Structures are given as structure tokens and as C-alpha cells.
Structure 1
């Protein structure tokens, strides 16, 4: 595992000051990341847990950088590197990741945006096997006995943004993530009612054939 030495997390509430997230004491969250045996053991648990997730369906609650919340249903197919975020009405938004692209559609604005999957932190989550080493650098680690948060960047392009994976502990299970983009704006996604069985979703669910404008 690769670490950025002595990186301190100021805490999620500090990162999203003014947003609609539960307050957390920054002093409690501050911790330095080092290459201790305990750190390595925690990250190995994370790798094993993510490796065991091939298909996932969940309800989600998304908190935007301005604090506004939206909900919807998420499908994640890590085996085939694809994802669909279908937002509940009246939201006009739809996000589909497939074919090494992330496609974001806003039907109200009649606008579709496409970007390479490997240029977004979401591409890390969709890897069939996410190894927390090599071309991925762990820049933050927080473990308080009840939750575990791991912040990742692409080693060669940290300016593209970061992803903080959020886990419940004992037993370990994914509960969401934070995405900080290249403009330092942060979006939080909380996963609810998660199921990891039920077979492979139909290909049509992940169609990126959306209108370009």
C-alpha cells in the first residue's frame, strides 16, 4: 500500500463546512496516516471487502456541494465496470458509467456531458479489483472503531480529484463515499438498503446512448 506521509484529515465536517452533513468533532477526526501494521491490516480488509462486491443495488442520498439533497436508485456492476444512478423525480438527472466513459444527463437543461471514466474518481470504485497501491495512493485513513474512511487519489494525477470511501465497521461494509473534484467541490453519497445479490442487471440499464447537445 502506498501512503502520503503524515497526511492529516481535518474531518468530513470541516471539508464540507456549511453543508448538510452531521457535525463531527474535527479534533477527534485528526489523525496522521503512516505505514503501520495496523494501517496495512485495515487497508487489506478494505481490499477484500471490495473484491467480494461484484454487483450492488441500493437506494442513495446525495448531498451536493451547496448542501442540497437528492435521492434515487443506484446499480453498480464492478465486474463489467459500469454504474447507473437514477435520480428520483422531480430531479432531471441521470448518470451512467460504461464503456470507459461517465455520461451525465440533465433533461431539464437538455444537456449531456461525457468524460473518460479514468479521469474521474468514480473510475476507481468501478475497478473489478481495487488495489490500494501502485497507481492508487492512500492519502487519508480514519478509523474510530465504528467507521472507517479511506481517501484515495490516482498516483499520477492527484489533481483529478479524490474519493473517500466510507465504511461501517464490525462488520466492515461500504456505506457510501465522498467525491472531491478538481475544483475542490465535494459531493457525498450515502448508500441505503444495499443488496449485493440478485444476478447481473440487464445491459439496457447501462446504456450510454443518450442525446448529445
Structure 2
């Protein structure tokens, strides 16, 4: 299923997994049975002030770098370094011999696997990354599906059909500092992939080519492999 753009949500270094996942379909009934979650009943429901403050704070972080650990649906674990710059730019450099990378330049997202000699390109606007990388995280309308406020964690679950169908992204923040701790994407089979970030630095500067995508190389590679 090479055209399944929801696969980008998992950032998995396994190209077959990346390209083979479906979109999640979660209804109100399913959310109601999740312990501790308060379902926002309608598009007009008020967004909890704590959630909006957290979203505004994260939106104000214009650049960030750090390390990440990713946990796949079967417990598989990978990690590496990430670099983020608003609007729309992010880069994940995975550890390991595959030299696997995921890069967004603000318009497109490319999945690079040097070991497998593959380069797959997708529009950023059709991936869950868009919600994380917008200039402002928009909680208006019916995007907010649930909010869970605890002493040590605030969890916000979002979806936007216009961006990536029925896919869900769950973001978890420190309620005191408003810092993003992790996010989870759920696929059509209810399987989660979680990315945790740590050792982060804000307000960092990057080399001009950090988020560059070589569209010519991508086109040539995919022409040869057809």
C-alpha cells in the first residue's frame, strides 16, 4: 500500500511497516470506555484552559533538538536524534547501520533508507506531523477528542479528517513546564507507536541543509527502481 500516507505517523525504520499501515477509525463509543478520559461532546465544547495553554506554549517553541526513543506496536525499540523548526520542518536521524532518516522541509516528507536504497516522498499536509509542526497547534472545532489532566501529565488526543483522515494523535505534556514529553499514533488495527523525546534544547539554530530534501535524487531513484 505505497500510497497510504498514514504510514508516516509511525516513523518506523522498517519501510514495509511504514508503507503498509492503515488509518485509524475511532468513534465516540470507543473513547468513552477509555478510563480517565473526558470526551468533548461537540465541536462547540470548550477546550480546557490547561490544554490551550499547553498547546500555545508548544506552538511558541520555534526550534528544538534532542534525542528520541520510538516504541513500535510489537515492543520493538529504536532511537536517534531529532531536529525541529517551525513551521513544518523536522528531521529524525535513526541510529543503526541503515542510515534511516525522516525529513520534512515544510512541504513534503521524505523517508530515506540508504541501506535499502529507497526514498519515499509524501505531502506534509496529509500526515499527522502537520499538527505537531504548524505555527500554532489549533484546538478549535472538533479536533480535540479528549483531554486527561493528571498531576504529572496532561494528555490531549487530536484528530483532523482534513489532514489525515480518521487518524489519531495523542500528545502528552508536562503540566508544570508545558513541555512535550511524547506522542502516540494509533493505526487502523488499534496498534500504537510511541515516540518519547528527551535531552531537548530549545531556541537552537541549524545548518541551512538540515531539512533539505533532494527532489532530483528522489525522482531519479524512483525512476530507476520502477
Pick 1 or 2: higher relative contact order, CA cutoff 8 A, min separation 6.
2
Quote the RMSD (CA, aligned, Å).
2.5
3-state secondary structure, aligned to 1:123:
helix
Tell me the residue number matched to 1:171. 177
Decide whether aligned partners of structure 1 residues 184 and 102 sit closer, same or farther in structure 2, where only a CA change above 3 A counts: farther
Relative to its length, the structure with more helix (as a share) is 2
In 2, Cα distance between equivalents of 1:175 and 1:113: 28
Tell me the residue number matched to 2:167. 161
Decide whether aligned partners of structure 1 residues 88 and 41 sit closer, same or farther in structure 2, where only a CA change above 3 A counts: same
Contact 1:7 1:33 in 2 (8 A): no
Tell me the residue number matched to 1:204. 209
Q: How does 1:186-201 map to 2 (within 5 A)?
A: 186-199=192-205, 201=206
Runs of 5+ consecutive residues of structure 1 not aligned to the other structure: 12-28
Decide whether aligned partners of structure 1 residues 172 and 49 sit closer, same or farther in structure 2, where only a CA change above 3 A counts: same
Deviations along 1:85-120, one digit per CA (max 9) or x if unpaired, are 001123431000114111111222211111111111
Of residues 148, 156, 164, the one that matches 2:154 is 148
Runs of 5+ consecutive residues of structure 2 not aligned to the other structure: 1-26
Of residues 70, 75, 80, the one that matches 2:78 is 70
- Tell me by how many angstroms 1:208 deviates: 1.1
3-state secondary structure, aligned to 1:204:
coil
- Tell me by how many angstroms 1:190 deviates: 0.4
Contact 1:121 1:160 in 2 (8 A): no
3-state secondary structure, aligned to 2:138:
coil
Relative to its length, the structure with more strand (as a share) is 1
The reply on whether 1:92 has 2:96 as its aligned counterpart is no
Tell me the residue number matched to 1:104. 111
Q: How does 1:53-64 map to 2 (within 5 A)?
A: 53-64=61-72
- How many residues are matched? 189
Decide whether aligned partners of structure 1 residues 61 and 9 sit closer, same or farther in structure 2, where only a CA change above 3 A counts: farther
TM-score (ref. length: structure 1): 0.78
Decide whether aligned partners of structure 1 residues 143 and 73 sit closer, same or farther in structure 2, where only a CA change above 3 A counts: same
In 1, Cα distance between equivalents of 2:116 and 2:32: 37
Decide whether aligned partners of structure 1 residues 54 and 186 sit closer, same or farther in structure 2, where only a CA change above 3 A counts: same
3-state secondary structure, aligned to 1:205:
coil
